[in-house]
Structure 1
């Protein structure tokens, strides 16, 4: 359970207009949740569609319980539920594969709980000081944390829907994809000091503290590897040739019987189709490849005579060289529809080169949105890291077991999309919306 905090300011803090942003982000997250799940029946909401994922009804009530803990109880508001509910929705206590066996509420009860918590949170928000110096409330941090948490679970829900076997389900709407207009090339990026991480008000603890590191000169692909690019690797027998894989990666290939990315469907004549949520369609060659593991990304890069970029190199490409540092690849203004595929409404990535306005000044495109990009780096805390407001968000996962992903995907909300944002997962994971781009040393 989160600690209760003193609501009045206990240290000076500058006034800020964070309440309006908090309401807007919470409202957008909840509207998206309802939009995503409105066409699903009770059977789909309570079933476990994959041992990798929770029943959807668990996610709905989990985001509500997280909100109750942090926006109500931690800020001094009356509790709506008790410790037994907290235990039920403790993600570390209950692995995803076991959650279907928990005494979960009905979908109606879960949605009702979420609505009651949100009503109480917004009412309590109106009573809170906007200029508090309490760590949770400074610049509305805890409200940003909860809004991002809900949106991150909506991306998880999207992954669950992709794994769902009900063939008659379709996304509620599909935004028309923008045309691609990119020719592949490498971009030379001079090395030097790079400002990594962030001290922005709503940045997570694992992004802090912002600091400077040195990066050597390197080349980076101008856009992520596409389906068409990756199909050449598959056709060349890449999955059968141990030369391109780490020992762990090739052992994974053998164990899984992997021959191509997840959800690809081979067709006669070397053609491909894919399963995209509830239907099959031709594989678009100009979209970034997605649903590939770190092992697959690393093997392709080796086959191509390259490597995966480090996290620092990726962030150098997105943010530029210090002392200047961009929040987003194009600058410091929040994402617009003309700059990146974000927010989930496309239900898939856009063709590469679809957003010239989202490219960096040096000509690297597609760094934000479309697909998460695997990096060569393992996940750990920066020097001076301090867990806040609870160690289970980041610190529990530090170590060599996880690889860092950067940039967000088409299913990532703008509130959780920034150069400094750090995602992480096991190198064998490929049901997530992950792809990659390649780098090489400049020698």
Structure 2
């Protein structure tokens, strides 16, 4: 077992990829005999890693609200995709119960079983415009509720149980300059947010909207967010409750800390793109402002989100700021042309049924910028196996067959997807049975 663990660590990278690494690896070893299956299940567990590190707790101790946040963060686009991940997480929690490391015997993920329940957490995002946020602020019965939305939208981090919100004090606000000073950065704020902060500071009572209306006295405090319990710090569960109340009050089912933060990120991105900044500079600015850990995954996630919601603002006629060298893309295309001598045609429709590589270097470049360099089926990364020689290499698959006779406008975000050579060959192995990405992914996961 010890040798197996060492081998797994060498293959799959550092321990930090998984929270509570040793326990999760023990779960994988005991529950899944085949390494191919363990690799897939390990990927499922990695979906929770960022949030686990932020909350400093293992997912088996997540509350219902924290599981909701996790499901939104996974960003699944289909119910089927989310259904492929959830059984692994449920099984892991059950394993923790059986091993006696989970305090309660409750498996909170059992609440997320039906298709109807799961569908609300799909990556539809339903982001909110600045106008919608402004309306929420102006219509909030309690300024202490509205200020939570305003501050998250502006860029205060929701990580570590809203630590930045909890610790924010009146002295941290420069109302003349419109700046909030945090321990690691400064954030400029809008006039609407300044007004909401003023109102929150002056609030002396809180109106409960649950059941019969009640009013609770709010003590004077040096903190922006006041606790009706008289504590110096507002408890985290009250912040969660207040966001849920606003979601119900305004009948906005997808209003939660994550979607408010995402909405703020997209709004900020729109302003920066309109000012002429390139996409990489915009992403860096968002990561800094919202205190998001910078890594390949966080940058790729932002690219996808910006492209989906602000595609018309992106400039696709330039290579400035790209993380992928266009010359390398063109070299790969030349190599593939030399390899690709034959393709299948089917009657008058003349669609490509064999492998046909994306020939437009800019489309290919954008697809890689948006989706990243890992295979979206099996997570293979060429650079990790082949070193420098494999850097920036991945094949790009057309989700729909291309016509030979009609010129097609390609949307790199929706029409193209990076896949490794093995998965690409399997997709196109039979000319009359082109497999979908999801079909091949399910083949791997079911092993």
Give the TM-score band, short-chain normalised.
under 0.3
Higher normalized contact order (CA 8 Å, seq sep 6+, divided by chain length)? 1
> How high is the TM-score relative to the length of structure 1?
0.26
> How high is the TM-score relative to the length of structure 2?
0.26
Is the helix fraction higher in 1 or 2?
2
Bigger radius of gyration among the two: 2
Is the strand fraction higher in 1 or 2?
1
